[in-house]
Amino acid sequence: MLRMTAGPPNSPWRFLDHPPAFLFFTGKGGVGKTSLACATAIHLAEQGRATLLVSTDPASNVGQVLDVAIGHQITPIAAVPGLSALEIDPQAAARAYRDRIVGPVRGVLPDAVVQGIEEQLSGACTTEIAAFDEFTALLTDATLVEHYDHIVFDTAPTGHTIRLLQLPGAWTGFLENGKGDASCLGPLAGLEKQRNRYQAAVAALADPRQTRLILVARAQTSTLREVARTREELAAIGLSQQYLALNGLLPEAEAAHDALAAALWRREQAALAALPESLRALPTDSIALKPFNLVGIDALRGLLGDATVEVETTATDAPASALPSLAELIDELADDRHGLILLMGKGGVGKTTLAAALAVELADRGYPVHLTTSDPAAHLVETLDGAREGLTVSRIDPRAETERYRQQVLASKGRDLDESGRALLEEDLRSPCTEEIAVFQAFSRLIREAGRKFVVMDTAPTGHTLLLLDATGAYHREIARQIGDSGLHFTTPLMQLQDPKQTKILIVTLPETTPVLEAARLQDDLRRAGIEPWAWVINNSLAIAATAAPLLRRRAAREWPEIEAVRHQHARRVAQVPLCAEEPVGVERLQALAAVRTA
């Protein structure tokens, strides 16, 4: 039975006032969810509350932020008595899930049948199911919830989180309505056994006495719009206990020191003045920007503690030679005259802005360009804020692609089925696994289109993108298995992603410890798939943006070690983009961003 005792009262932070058992931190990538979740978990533990910190992000960096090796098992944090942490590793979860399904039939069924089941369980859908299975266990495991006063969830960026929080209801409804007998038989054989757990997870999420959702945001217009959409979508599935945390606000005193700081402060204040109506009624906290990187226990204590806390870090002088600009990278990209350009990286590093700037500049040079996104929380249209000749814009909408795929399958496989057979096929196509196939097909169409024009793709944050690449790899393995030693020539989307003549991958990062470490990990994952990133882009750099504001100067000085690490340890080619005084929204500002060249 879950303990219903309230947490510490009278906190200066509204989201921490009498906290319930489950606290979820969610929001757009790069707004500080992980830092705030970690700081909250430390705060609760140091108040004498047994606390478990859990990351559900496929690209978790909780261990990096805490500066402790964590992983897939519950790990006590020695520096904070009463605190433990867990990073749900989707791949490890998938391996354990496959073992639970396949283990009992290995040696019982023929090898060919076992191999078929294993192949069926090799895709990204099974990875998602396995991670989801562990997530629901954390909400419903009586022993676990009895042991901890609080479980703090650091979630993936918004789109992926909404998908995760919708899954208990989606799978429960699918199981209640029955299933077909096609692609999801293997995964669902395990899911059906967990029906009661999923129903209990839905109940826990919807109970405000058990669950509180903290929407984390920066004072940026696009971010606040997305948070407002998130609030509505999560309220629609029963998560009504919501709070708003406005993170990283520049103190007004900084605005007096120079034009850049004043412009940044005015930009934040304008965004707050235009706060969407649906957010105004939420209990809200404002958290000031810190001059130090939020890595390590001491820094995290400073986030919610004394604002004067200083964390010692080593600053590095600027290098003698400047890094290339975005314009210089575009010069090289334009030489190919067509191809797929993928911008990848952690949420909140500016992939959408840079993708739009690249696309606008290539279109201005006379090339046909298709700008698109796979991010469920995309805002390309808001970033462009206008049309451009030679540039088309789209997004991979999972719902629209799923419906397109359903109709395609019903028109082909369902054409000659009787009423009963068609009903079974339709039921099978209602599985959430169908979305994986549909999105992969849309991605494959874009890869083919890049053979005749530039396709610039703003990808979802790292974890979600890796799931899409996992589906691409599974398809490649299946085609290779079917063709075998026949000698037939074939080309799969994965092979096109591996070909640098057809695909250029730009890893986008910020000059900060956590984004750089995550970008390096993404590069390692890509290389294991045989994909070599073409370049790195260091975005929103204060180090090359002149400022006299003390807080900003301290942050700028701490960028150089990360910039040098990218330059000398990680990237084959790299560009550096300054932090702009005005938000780069609209075609003219995007043109200006793409035109800046190294002095």
Checking if the pLDDT of 181 tops 50, the result is no
CA pair distance 468, 463, nearest whole angstrom: 9
- Non-local (6+) Cβ contacts of 228 within 8 A are 276, 278, 279
Average pLDDT over residues 378-404: 82
Looking at the fold, whether 565 and 453 belong to one and the same domain comes out as yes
- Within 10 A of 95 (CB to CB), how many other CB atoms are there? 15
CA pair distance 311, 294, nearest whole angstrom: 9
Three-state secondary structure readout of 474-539: HHHHHHHHHHCCCCCCCCCHHHHHHCCCCEEEEEEECCCHHHHHHHHHHHHHHHHCCCCCCEEEEE
Domain presence at residue 10: no
The DSSP letter of residue 450 is T
Max mean pLDDT among 35-49, 198-212, 306-320 falls in 35-49
CA pair distance 358, 575, nearest whole angstrom: 13
At 29, the pLDDT band (50, 70, 90 cuts) reads: confident
Token representation of residue 405 = 């795929």
Domain presence at residue 319: no
pLDDT of residue 563: 94
Looking at the fold, whether 277 and 376 belong to one and the same domain comes out as no
- Across 116-120, 157-161, 273-277, 546-550, least confident range: 157-161
Domain presence at residue 136: yes
What CA dihedral angle connects 514, 516, 521 and 527, to 10 degrees?
A: 170
The CA–CA distances, whole Å, from 317 to 18, 177, 507, 543 equal 46, 63, 24, 10
H/E segment holding residue 302? helix 297-304
Token representation of residue 9 = 């009262």
List for the chain the helix, strand, coil content (%; round to 5).
50, 15, 35
pLDDT of residue 376: 63
Q: What is the pLDDT of residues 525-574, one digit of tens each?
A: 888 888 899 999 999 999 998 889 999 999 999 899 999 999 999 999 99
Average pLDDT over residues 89-117: 72
pLDDT of residue 565: 93
Find the CATH number of the domain harbouring 97.
Answer: 3.40.50.300
Q: Just list the catalytic residues.
A: 30, 32-35, 57, 514
Token representation of residue 49 = 């509350």
- Across 168-177, 290-299, 447-456, least confident range: 168-177
CA pair distance 58, 62, nearest whole angstrom: 11
Asked if 17 contacts 10 with a C-beta cutoff of 8 angstroms, the reply is: yes
Looking at the fold, whether 201 and 296 belong to one and the same domain comes out as yes
pLDDT of residue 559: 93
Looking at the fold, whether 195 and 330 belong to one and the same domain comes out as no
Write down which residue in 268, 303, 338 finishes a domain: 303
- Within 10 A of 291 (CB to CB), how many other CB atoms are there? 18
Checking if the pLDDT of 488 tops 60, the result is no
Phi/psi zone of residue 488: left (φ > 0), alpha (ψ -120 to 50 degrees), beta?
Answer: beta
Give backbone dihedrals phi and psi of 26, rounded to 5 degrees, phi first.
Answer: -140, 170
Domain presence at residue 411: no
Return the CA Rg of the chain: 24
Pairing of strands 22-26, 284-288: unpaired
Look at the block and give the residue holding tokens 């895709």.
123
At 404, the pLDDT band (50, 70, 90 cuts) reads: confident
Asked if 519 contacts 345 with a C-beta cutoff of 8 angstroms, the reply is: yes
CA pair distance 146, 295, nearest whole angstrom: 30
Strands (E), 363-512: 369-373, 391-393, 454-458, 503-509
Looking at the fold, whether 478 and 567 belong to one and the same domain comes out as yes
Max mean pLDDT among 156-165, 408-417, 546-555 falls in 546-555
Average pLDDT over residues 267-282: 93
Looking at the fold, whether 333 and 239 belong to one and the same domain comes out as no
Token representation of residue 382 = 């808001």
Q: How many domains does the chain have?
A: 2
Closest to 580 measured CA to CA, from 568, 567, 594: 594
CA pair distance 414, 418, nearest whole angstrom: 8
pLDDT of residue 575: 95
Write down which residue in 249, 272, 303 finishes a domain: 303
350 bridge partner residues: none
Domain presence at residue 404: no
CA pair distance 193, 191, nearest whole angstrom: 5
Write down which residue in 248, 271, 303 finishes a domain: 303
Looking at the fold, whether 344 and 462 belong to one and the same domain comes out as yes
Pairing of strands 339-344, 454-458: parallel
Looking at the fold, whether 284 and 362 belong to one and the same domain comes out as no
Domain presence at residue 539: yes
- Non-local (6+) Cβ contacts of 170 within 8 A are 432
Average pLDDT over residues 98-124: 70
Looking at the fold, whether 188 and 138 belong to one and the same domain comes out as yes
Looking at the fold, whether 74 and 219 belong to one and the same domain comes out as yes
What CA dihedral angle connects 494, 498, 503 and 506, to 10 degrees?
A: 110
297-304 and 33-46 are packed helices; what angle lies between their axes, rounded to 10 degrees? 90
Domain presence at residue 423: no
The residue that leads in pLDDT, 301 or 436, is: 301
What CA dihedral angle connects 285, 290, 294 and 296, to 10 degrees?
A: -110
At 398, the pLDDT band (50, 70, 90 cuts) reads: confident
Domain presence at residue 427: no
Three-state secondary structure readout of 53-109: EEECCCCCCHHHHHCCCCCCCCEECCCCCCEEEEECCHHHHHHHHHHHHHHHHECCE
CA pair distance 50, 44, nearest whole angstrom: 8
pLDDT of residue 319: 61
Token representation of residue 523 = 């590069």
Looking at the fold, whether 295 and 335 belong to one and the same domain comes out as no
Residue range(s) defining the domain that contains residue 524: 326-397+435-595
Q: What is the pLDDT of residues 306-363, one digit of tens each?
A: 544 554 544 455 665 678 999 999 999 999 999 999 999 887 889 999 999 999 999 9
The DSSP letter of residue 543 is T
Look at the block and give the residue holding tokens 């059906």.
192
Total residue length of the chain: 599
Token representation of residue 231 = 């609030």
Give backbone dihedrals phi and psi of 129, rounded to 5 degrees, phi first.
Answer: -60, -45
Looking at the fold, whether 349 and 242 belong to one and the same domain comes out as no
Closest to 357 measured CA to CA, from 29, 599, 589, 598: 589
